[in-house]
Structure 1
Amino acid sequence: MDMPLNLRDRTKIFTGFFLGAALLAGLFVSGCGKVQFSENPALSLEFSADTVLFDTVFTTIGSVTLPLKVYNWNAEALRIDEIELVGGSESPFRVNIDGEVGPSVTDWPILGDDSLWIFLEVTVDPSAASTPFIIEDELRFNTNGNEQRVSLIAWGQNAHFHGGLNELNPLPSCDEVWTNDLPHVIYGIVEVDMGCTLTIKEGTQIHVHDGGGLLVFQSTLRIEGELGNEVVFQGDRLESSYVNVPGQWGIEIDFQFETEYGIEEITAQRGGIWLYGGVECTMDYAVLRNGTIGLQVDTTGTDESPALDIRNTIIHNMSAYGLYAQGGTIDGYNNLIYDCGQSTAAFTLGGAYKMDHCTFANYWAEGVRQSPSVLFTDWYEDINGNIQERSLEGSAFNNCIFWGNNYSLTDFDELVVSLLNPPTSPFIRFSAVDVQDPEFPMGILEATLTDNTPPFASTSDRDFHLSSNNSLWDGVASQFAIGLDLDGLPRAIGQPDMGCYERQQ
Structure 2
Amino acid sequence: MKYLYNIITIFVLIGFVSCRKDFDFETSSGTDLRFSRDTVYLDTIFTNIGSSTYTLKVYNSTNKDIKIPTLKLAKGENSNFRLMVDGVAGKVFNNVELLAKDSMFIFVETTVDIHSLSNQKEYLYTDQIQFTSGTNSQKVELVTLVKDAIFLYPQKFADGTKETLPLDGEEIEGFFLDENDPVNENELIWTDDKPYVIYGYAAVPPNKTLEIEAGAQIHFHDNSGLLVANNGNINAVGTIQNPIIFQGDRLEPSFENTPGQWGAIWLTVGSSGNFENAIIKNATIGLLINKNQGTVNLHNLQVYNASDFGILGRVGKIRGTNVVTNNCGQAGLGCTFGGNYHFIQSTFANYWNKPNQTSVVIDNYDGTPEFAIEQALFQNCIIYGSSSESLIMNKQGSNNNFNIKFDNSLIKFTDYSNQVFGNFPYDFNNSTYFSNCLIARTPQQYRPYFKNTNKNEMMITDKAVDIIGIGNLIFAQQVPFDLLGNSRLSSPDLGAYQNIPESQ
Shared fold by TM > 0.5?
yes
Q: What is the aligned-residue RMSD (CA, Å)?
A: 3.3
Matched residue, 1:484: 481
Map of 1:384-463 to 2, 5 A cutoff?
390-407=371-388, 413-420=389-396, 421-422=398-399, 426-435=404-413, 436=415, 437-438=420-421, 439-441=423-425, 442=427, 443=430, 444-451=433-440, 452-458=445-451, 459-463=453-457
Q: Deviations over 1:454-504 (max 9, x none)?
A: 3224345543222234467512222872110011000125x6221001237
| Distance in structure 2 (CA, Å) of the matches to 1:217 and 1:130 | 41
Task: Give the aligned residue type for 1:234.
Answer: Q
Q: Structure 1: 5+ residue runs without aligned partners?
A: 1-56, 61-88, 95-101, 104-121, 132-155, 251-271, 382-386, 408-412
Q: Give the equivalent residue in structure 2 for 1:334.
A: 322
Amino acid paired to 2:390: E
Q: Distance in 2 between matches of 1:333 and 1:431?
A: 14
Equivalences for residues 89-100 of structure 1 within 5 A: none
Q: Given the two structures, how large is their TM-score scaled by the length of structure 1?
A: 0.60
Q: CA deviation at 1:240?
A: 2.2
Number of the residue aligned with 2:69: none
The one-letter amino acid paired with 2:153 is G
Give how far 1:280 is off: 4.0
Output the CA distance in 2 between the equivalents of 1:332 and 1:233: 18
Residue 465 of structure 1 pairs with residue 446 of structure 2: no
Aligned counterparts, 1:193-212, within 5 A? 193-212=205-224
Q: Does the CA-based 8 Å contact 2:176-2:202 persist in structure 1?
A: yes
Report deviation, 1:92. 8.3
Q: TM-score, normalised by structure 2?
A: 0.60
Alpha-carbon spacing, 1:162–1:326, altered in 2? closer, same or farther (3 Å): same
CA offsets per residue over residues 43-72 of structure 1, 9 Å max, x none? xxxxxxxxxxxxxx9799xxxxxxxxxxxx
Is the contact between residue 216 and residue 278 of structure 1 (CA under 8 Å) also seen in structure 2? Answer: no
Q: Is the 8 A contact 1:356 1:397 kept in 2?
A: yes
Counterpart mapping for 1:92-171 below 5 A: 124-126=112-114, 158-164=148-154, 165-166=162-163, 167-171=173-177
Comparing 157-166 with 471-480, greater Cα deviation is found at 471-480
Instruction: Name the CA distance, whole Å, in 1 between partners of 2:448 and 2:246.
Output: 29
Identity in percent: 32
Q: Does residue 349 of structure 1 match 2:342?
A: no
Per-residue CA deviation, residues 302-343 of structure 1 (Å, 9 max, x unaligned), is 4xxx1x100001100111110011000001100110111111
Matched residue count: 334
- Unaligned 5+ residue runs, structure 2? 1-45, 50-76, 83-88, 91-109, 115-121, 127-145, 155-161, 164-172, 181-185
Give 2:357's aligned residue.
371
Q: Following the alignment from structure 1 to structure 2, what is the Cα–Cα distance between the partners of residues 503 and 298?
A: 34
* SS of residue paired to 2:498: coil
Partner of 2:193: 181
Q: 1:290–1:317: 8 Å Cα contact kept in structure 2?
A: yes
Alpha-carbon spacing, 1:461–1:273, altered in 2? closer, same or farther (3 Å): closer
CA, structure 1 residues 211+480, in 2 after alignment: closer, same or farther (shift >3 Å)?
A: farther
Q: Does residue 474 in structure 1 map to residue 465 in structure 2?
A: no
Native 8 Å contact 2:344 2:479 kept in 1: no
- Shift, 1:449, TM fit: 1.3
Amino acid at match of 1:378: N
Instruction: Report if the CA contact (8 A) 2:467-2:494 is conserved.
Output: no
Q: Which AA in structure 2 matches 1:429?
A: D
* Deviation (angstroms), 1:360: 0.7
Query: What is aligned with 2:492?
Result: 496
Q: How does 1:225-374 map to 2 (within 5 A)?
A: 225-250=238-263, 272-277=264-269, 279-302=271-294, 306=295, 308-365=296-353, 368-374=354-360
Contact 1:273 1:296 (8 Å CA) reproduced:
yes
2:226 and 2:265 in contact (8 A); partners too: yes
